Amino acid sequence: MIKKLIKKEIARQKKVINLIPSENYVSKDVLAALGSPLTNKYAEGKSGQRYYFGNEIVDQLESEVKRLVYKVFKISAKRYGVNVQPYSGSIANLASYIGSVGLGGKILAMSLEHGGHLTHGHHVSMTGKLFKFRHYEVGRDGWIDYDEVARIAKKFKPQLIVCGATAYPRKLDFKKFRQIADSVNALLIADISHIAGLIAGGVHPSPFPYADIVTTTTQKTLRGPRGAIIISKLSTPQVNNLSDIIDKIVFPGLQGGPQMHTIAAMGVAFEEAMKPSFKKYARQVVANAKALATELERLGFKIITGGTDNHLMLVDVTPLGLTGKEAGERLERAGIIVNKNMIPYDIRKPWDPSGIRLGTPAVTTQGMKEGDMIKIARKIKHILLK
């Protein structure tokens, strides 16, 4: 039965137009590594410091994957530590918070309703229960107001500031966030889960050297398996041995043995991300997103911030007399997959919000270009306005 369901899902993925910004299609090589016998190996601990024997080869593997992270993001091992063991971005963020400010620490982040993530301190997340979070919002125009972020930081005096989002269509100014963090003597963490592939591809500003900690998943624009990494400065004025502390929070603090098959698949994705073809891919992702947003706006759709700088956009569907749930369901029946999403200052609830979120990583992997985006936009109009 399981094999039949897998085949059905493969068929579904092939026949739909996937516009979910957080999904992508990995290569056959990534899949091969993910399904390799490395899944048989238990390897608690770090390379060279395992609690099990028989780890000579996986030690080399993990070390190589970490070396690839340094190359992909053009950073130095003399300044940064890398951990490739987190099972997910949620674990990566939690470990980073505990390691940097400790339980109960004061953290400033973007609110979920305005584009942030659950693990940026939302009340339903354990991060919102274990730490003292304050949140900044975007302006009525949908853009981050850095002066307002600075004002909140000055009043709240956080120990850590989180920059990064899951539903913000514009470039992040990491330098401004660094200046705000410095003004209150706070650490800065950049959650680049959505834009990591765009950064690796050179089409989005890098958080280095501004952020003290960088977390990311690997399955979105990086086009890898569902895993995560933490990159942190070896030490900061606020926290000595920061990287080592975070490593100990990941294991043994939060996890057991690392998933070596996933780490291997991440390594394959990093190798692919260093090829010239990946830079071309990243450029096309952004070009496609701009084309899709521009055409949708021309067709009368309300696009939050009026466009996009990255791989995603938010569309307010309430002028169409629809909710995000209704719009998503109509599109799915027609073979277009999006996700319902709150828009800034939304008066509706998360499970039936006012907007939908669209992105171009997956369709770009399939080889689509700007002309295809125009056709998709017109199809979306036909589906939602009929």
Could you tell me the CA-to-CA distances from 10 to 25, 39, 139, 299, 315 in Å, in that order?
11, 22, 41, 33, 28
Alpha-carbon distance of 279 to 311, in angstroms, equals 14
Alpha-carbon distance of 307 to 286, in angstroms, equals 11
Q: Which residues are catalytic?
A: 42, 44, 191, 217, 220, 226
State both tokens at 174. 């990491």
Alpha-carbon distance of 215 to 92, in angstroms, equals 6
CB-based contact 307:313 (threshold 8 Å): yes
- Where does the chain show beta strands of DSSP type E? 17-18, 45-46, 49-50, 80-83, 106-110, 132-136, 160-163, 187-191, 213-217, 228-233, 302-303, 312-316, 336-337, 339-341, 355-359
CB-based contact 32:269 (threshold 8 Å): no
| DSSP conformation letters of 375-386 | HHHHHHHHHHH-
DSSP-derived secondary structure letter, 83: E
Residue 83's nearest CA partner among 103, 101, 62, 97 is: 62
Cα 117 vs. chain centroid, distance in angstroms? 9
Q: What b/e readout covers 273-308, taking b as 16+ CB neighbours within 10 angstroms?
A: beeeebeebbebbbbbbbbbbbbbbeeebbbbbeeb
